[in-house]
């Protein structure tokens, strides 16, 4: 969903304020609904919407939050947790047989089956580790992220974290798969050369034609296996992660936490802050 006609009549500053207030509304509602006082381990994602998640959590007061530990997905969320006076730990400190009670994170685009594109902030690998470590993954976003099919609004491409030595070969494979002008993410204008992730890797942004859902292929009129350049989310995700040199991909797909006990990539709920100040909830 992009800016509506009435919103585009607003000044740039007014539009920015509207987006901020929609992020805040989504985050506060998600925390109210999904952060139970009995929880002990909470994942905190990356991006500008998650700032409000941490603000909402901090406002619950130390009687509740001092019993909880918070697990970041990168340096930004580590700083947010510390600045809010919350207890910090790292996901590698959580025993492998234990789970986070809940994880909150943003998204770059969300489709109607709650598949996500993530990685606009280059933290996608840590974000997927934290999300899949949680019993319940909850997504928070503003109205611009809502989309019928991934790749409709988010045109920059699917973020893919790759080993530097493999980057050119991965680019070649992506082009052969039908990606429209995949590129290594540049650090410009802030940094000369490419973005280097917290894991010492590069990010490739690979645009594809809007990704199909399984139901789009049921009619038998579209395959979704990449023939003719059309992919379903699941087929593309499986193909991308199998490319040698790819560490992780920014497609969050497959099962959600209601369907499997461990390892779900999809959120059970997405909170969208809308332009009119309300919050739209999409549940799995």
Report the C-alpha gap between 180 and 278 in whole angstroms. 36
Distance between CA atoms of residues 97 and 11, nearest Å:
51
Residue (115 or 224) nearer to ligand 5RP, CB: 115
- Tell me how far apart the alpha carbons of residues 171 and 196 are, in angstroms, rounded to a whole number: 17
Spatial contact of 90 and 72, defined as CB atoms under 8 Å apart: yes
Q: For residues 242 and 240, what is the distance between their CA atoms, to the nearest angstrom?
A: 5
User: Residue 122 Cβ, how far from ligand 5RP at the closest point, in Å?
Assistant: 6
Distance of alpha carbon 186 from alpha carbon 83, whole angstroms: 29
Report the half-sphere exposure of 78 (CA within 13 A, side-chain side): 9
Q: Using CB under 6 A as the criterion, which residues of the chain lie in contact with ligand 5RP when the complex forms?
A: 45-49, 105-108, 118-124, 127
Comparison of 46 and 153: residue with beta carbon closer to ligand 5RP: 46
Measured from the CB atom, is 72 or 224 closer to ligand 5RP?
A: 72
Instruction: Look up 127 and say whether it is catalytic.
Output: yes
CA separation for the pair 96, 231 (Å, rounded): 34
| Helices and strands: H and E segment counts in the chain | 9, 13
CB of 104 to ligand 5RP, least distance (A): 10
CB of 176 to ligand 5RP, least distance (A): 26
* Least spacing, CB of residue 256 vs ligand 5RP, in Å: 17
Question: Residue with CB nearest ligand 5RP?
Answer: 47
Q: Which is nearer to ligand 5RP, 35 or 230 (CB)?
A: 35
Q: Which candidate in 109, 127, 248, 275 is catalytic?
A: 127
Give the active site residues: 127
């Amino acid at each position: 969903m992009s800016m509506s006609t009435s919103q585009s009549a607003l000044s740039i500053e007014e539009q920015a304020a509207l987006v901020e207030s929609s992020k805040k509304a989504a985050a506060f509602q998600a925390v109210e609904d999904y952060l139970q006082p009995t929880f002990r381990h909470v994942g905190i994602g990356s991006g500008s919407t998650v700032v409000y998640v941490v603000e909402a959590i901090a406002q619950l007061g130390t009687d509740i939050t001092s019993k909880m530990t918070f697990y970041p997905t990168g340096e930004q969320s580590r700083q947010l947790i510390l600045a809010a006076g919350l207890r910090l730990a790292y996901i590698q400190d959580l025993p492998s047989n234990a789970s986070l009670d809940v994880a909150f994170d943003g998204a770059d685009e969300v489709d109607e089956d709650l598949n996500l594109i993530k990685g606009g902030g280059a933290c996608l690998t840590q974000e997927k580790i934290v999300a899949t470590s949680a019993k319940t993954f909850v997504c928070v976003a503003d109205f611009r992220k809502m989309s019928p099919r991934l790749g409709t609004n988010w045109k920059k491409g699917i973020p893919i974290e790759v080993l530097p030595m493999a980057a050119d070969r991965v680019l070649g494979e992506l082009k052969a798969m039908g990606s429209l002008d995949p590129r290594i993410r540049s650090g410009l204008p802030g940094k000369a050369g490419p973005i280097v992730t917290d894991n010492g890797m590069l990010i490739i942004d690979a645009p594809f034609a809007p990704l199909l859902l399984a139901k789009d292929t049921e009619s038998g009129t579209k395959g979704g296996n990449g023939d003719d350049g059309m992919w379903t989310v699941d087929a593309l995700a499986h193909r991308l992660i199998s490319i040698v040199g790819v560490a992780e991909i920014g497609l969050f797909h497959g099962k959600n936490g209601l369907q499997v006990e461990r390892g779900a990539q999809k959120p059970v709920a997405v909170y969208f802050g809308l332009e009119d100040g309300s919050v739209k909830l999409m549940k799995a």
